[in-house]
Amino acid sequence: MKPPHYRGGYHRQAAQLRAAAYANPSTRCWRCKLTLAEHPPHRDGKPARWTAGHVIDGQPGGPLLPEASTCNYSAGGTLGNRKRPRRTRLTW
């Protein structure tokens, strides 16, 4: 069974959102308010691209808005790190 983020109409809604964002060069990332042309590239040099960003991070089925991939991946990494159990340092 697919995870909640990939069930139902998510793919269709995300594809429509990305297509609309690419069709309008003045679209701004909801998180950082930059257009795709203004957005810095990823660390590996690849340009940012449009993704469907969750307004409430990690909420399946929640509202989606256009978000630059660098902002979206950063927010996802931050959320994942917060959910991960904290490691304690061993003292000898």
Give me the CATH number covering residue 48.
3.40.1800
Alpha-carbon span 80 to 16, nearest angstrom = 26
Which domain, by its residues, includes 10? 4-83
Whether residue 25 lies inside any domain: the answer is yes
Q: How far apart are CA 39 and CA 62, in angstroms?
A: 25
Residue 30 lies in a domain: yes
Question: What pTM value is reported for the model?
Answer: 0.78
Does some domain include residue 91?
A: no
Q: How many domains does the chain have?
A: 1
Is 89 within the bounds of a domain? no
Q: How far is CA 60 from CA 7, 46, 79, 84, in A?
A: 9, 28, 14, 19
pLDDT tens digits along 29-86: 999 999 999 999 999 999 999 999 999 888 877 899 999 999 999 998 888 888 888 7
Tens digit of pLDDT for each residue in 39-53? Answer: 999 999 999 999 999
pLDDT at 89: 75
